[in-house]
A and B are shown apart, each in its own frame.
Chain A
Amino acid sequence: MNWRFGLTGSTFDPLMTSHWALAAALLLPLVFGALAAIFPPRRMWPVALACAVILTAGIFLLIDTRQAGVLRWQWEFSGIGVALRLNGVSMLLLLLTQWLGAAAALYTPGLLRISDPERFARWLWPLMGAVISALSLAWVATDLLTLYIALETMGLAAVAMLLLSGQADALLAGMRYLLLTLVGSLAYLLGVALILGYWGRLDLAGLAEVVEPGPVAWVAAALMGAGLALKAALFPLHAWLSPVHSSAWTPVSALHAGLVVKASLFVLLELWSILLFETFWAPRVIAWMGMLAVVWGGLIAWRAESLKTLVASSTVAQLGYLMVVFPLLLGPDISPLARALAWDGFWLQLMGHALAKAAMFMAAGNLILATGEKTLEGLAGTSRRLPLSLLVFGVASVTLMGLPPSAGFTAKWLLLQSMVISGQWWAVAALLVGTLLTAAYIFRFFRYSFMETAPRHRYQPLAPGMDVIALGLALAAFALGLLAHFPLDLLHGGSA
């Protein structure tokens, strides 16, 4: 399993361009964010210019990774080791972060222009930069210290971003999120303390060699698992998630639901694959929780009164799909084919959901911004005036529902195959029930939006590009299903 994360296997000296590209990918978001705090951009083009530089760095890294398979960096500063690596998975997630971040950043000037001027609006830029930098770092870091720094930076910046809207709801939810995410990190840190105390090292590659099953590994895994599950909003520790989104700014929600919660999940999977490989019960418990998450998230979204709660609860359910895969990735007695399929399906689902959820949040944000209504009933009859936003919502929900040919479909297809091969019928049932529930809550919203009972006359016009960016993301999620062999090639090529 460790080779899949690029912790073992051949090493290759990165090229000079790779060094620079990595530095650019990790630091430039911070730099540009700080710049934007000083000179807040009013138009889209300066943002686009900044994003282009970062995206170019990402492309450079992609080319190098494709050639080398795994890129590895290792530094030591007075006894403190820092280890980074880029393999297929982390490259894919890095690219996803950069593009999604770029979309969120491009969306922001329009949003800030048409919404009321906020006192803290300019702070959004550095925080967004910090989140993107921290996310990039989380994907590439391979030692527990760097991972901790990345997770904490990401968590604190994300909380701060979510608090920016300044309303009482947001503050309450944000405060809860802040406390929980900090405590979750402390649980992680406690696990790190046990590991450091017993094995005396923090780099994952080294740990992968020395770790052997024992009480330390188990308790550390349990503590880290619980802490990261809290940060990743895994059922039943998910309840902080939907209030956080209910009054957050749209690009913040898009970034948070799309990527931030996934980072904790990624770290969780990576650590468990080292500490708990081929254990039966722990992944199984996560999978059961995942099944409940699928059902519960679907039910909550189905009965939701506000659109943002619907979208946020759907995140809980979609994360459930990822949890259900845990036994296939970590459990014993899984055939190599099933494990490979589950691995592919896991990341494809993660990426498809990230794109689709970001698009959905943007579409929902557009609808709410244009009408000034947050509840489903209040949004009745928007179909006539805001068809594009609804279209984006629809295309994104195709991915969430897993209809062909979206990424959601391809991912679920791979997962179903893997589950059938390994005989996990409960997981299959959860997947199917989840799909039905997804359809139920999506169509509930659509039914409201096509009602023509209450004609509305006042619509806030949207800034140009706000719908287009969302549509681009939704179509990307859609196209990811059709072009799934590109990311899958990268997954296989980068980790083989």
Chain B
Amino acid sequence: MIASVDLIEVVLALCLVTAALFCLFDRHLLRACSFFVAFTLCMALAWLTLAAPWLALMEGIIGALLTTPCFFYALGVFTPASEKLPSHDHFKEPLSRGVMRTLLALAWCLMVGAVVRFIFPAMVYSPTEHPLLLAGVVMVAAAMGAFAWHRHLVRRLLAFNVLGSGVFLLLAGLAGTDPQGQALITTALVVAWLGSLLGALVIRRLYRLEGENALLGSRGLKETRQ
């Protein structure tokens, strides 16, 4: 029984990480958003396996039903074709930037991982005992790196959401699902939804006002000189 639970957890963790990575690094925006839906569903399942049905419910409602439409709205799925966002993020970040971000993400991964190890000394002996925790660490580091790396606003918003989910997983994994942790996660879910909603509205309006360039978060030289 325990092994089966473990197996489910491991599979879930793998699914989560895969979905998260696709969501973070796919340049095709619509596809990335679809992966985010899958990611949210995996999260809900993860909450169920962690015996937190309330959180699973919240994740289902807020994450899948409320947050993902925000992304599709931002991409202009519900609007005529002329107002759709470009389907790909073509911006090439400089290599140095990528290297730096990767290094920083690794450092975060190490840092958080080290503390998690300190809190659960037993993990050294059976690293797979808490697969969701590990997935959380990886997701936090990867999402943080992606957030710092990307300049496309939709992708950064996605990275923020993945980062949030990673933090929730870590929280639940470290503290268990006691009421305080659940309260924190619920609040954070609401906040993430509100933030995504606000972000989606702004992205839509920016695109209408300023066009494609604005989606990279800058307007050329003018802004930097201010």
Contact = CB atoms under 8 A, between A and B. Distances in A.
Tell me if chains A and B make direct contact, with any CB pair below 8 A: yes
Contacts of B118: 214-216
B223 A172 contact: yes
Interface in B62-92: none
A113 B68 CA distance: 39
Interface stretch (B14-22, B34-42, B155-163): B155-163
B61 interface: no
Interface stretch (B3-11, B95-103, B107-115): B107-115
A80 B184 CA distance: 10
Interface string A156-180: 1001100100101101101110110
A238 to B, nearest CB: 14
A243 B223 contact: yes
A117 interface: no
A194 B115 contact: yes
Contact of A192 (B111, B144, B171, B194): B171
Interface string A111-140: 000000000000000000000000000000
B209 A171 contact: yes
Interface in A425-459: none
Interface string A73-117: 000001111000000000000000000000000000000000000
Contacts of A145: 180, 183-184, 187
A182 B191 contact: yes
B147 interface: yes
Interface residues of A, number: 51
Contact of B178 (A79, A192, A193): A79
Contacts of B217: 172, 175-176
Contacts of B111: 219, 222
Interface stretch (A54-62, A183-191, A407-415): A183-191
Given A79-B178, A182-B192, A193-B174, A168 B209 contact: yes
Nearest to B170: A193
Given A78-B179, A80-B183, A149-B187, A171 B170 contact: no
A183 B160 contact: yes
B119 A171 contact: no
Contacts of B112: 190, 219
Q: Which of A81, A182, A214, A243 has the most CB of B within 10 A?
A: A182
Given A172-B214, A182-B191, A215-B115, A196 B198 contact: no
Contact of A175 (B178, B188, B203, B223): B203
B202 A148 contact: no
Interface in B190-206: 191-192, 194-195, 198-199, 202-203, 205-206
Interface stretch (A28-36, A197-205, A463-471): A197-205
Q: Which of B115, B181, B209, B217 has the most CB of A within 10 A?
A: B115
B174 A194 contact: yes
A488 to B, nearest CB: 36
A242 interface: yes
B188 A189 contact: yes
Instruction: Determine the main DSSP class of A at the interface with B.
Output: helix
Nearest to B205: A171
A18 interface: no
Place the interface of chain B in its size category: 35 or more
A152 interface: yes
Nearest to B226: A309
Given A176-B217, A178-B202, A183-B160, A190 B179 contact: no
Contacts of B225: 305
Contacts of B219: 168-169, 172
Contacts of A215: 114-115, 118
A306 interface: yes
A197 B147 contact: no
B45 interface: no
A246 interface: yes
A81 B226 contact: no
A193 B167 contact: yes
A275 to B, nearest CB: 13
B144 to A, nearest CB: 8
B156 A179 contact: yes
Contacts of A185: 191
Q: Which of B153, B195, B206 has the most CB of A within 10 A?
A: B195
Contacts of B202: 163, 171, 174-175, 178
A189 B184 contact: yes
B147 A183 contact: yes
Given A172-B214, A243-B226, A246-B226, A190 B184 contact: no
A335 to B, nearest CB: 34
Contacts of B214: 168, 171-172
Given A78-B179, A185-B191, A190-B112, 10 more contacts: A171-B206, A171-B214, A172-B210, A172-B219, A175-B153, A179-B147, A182-B195, A183-B147, A186-B160, A189-B188
Interface of A: 78-81, 144-145, 148-149, 152, 156, 159-160, 163, 166, 168-169, 171-172, 174-176, 178-179, 182-183, 185-186, 189-190, 192-194, 196-198, 200-202, 214-216, 219-220, 222, 242-243, 246, 304-306, 309
Q: Which 8 residue pairs spanning A and B have beta carbons closest together? A: A197-B174, A79-B179, A193-B171, A196-B175, A197-B175, A219-B115, A152-B191, A168-B209
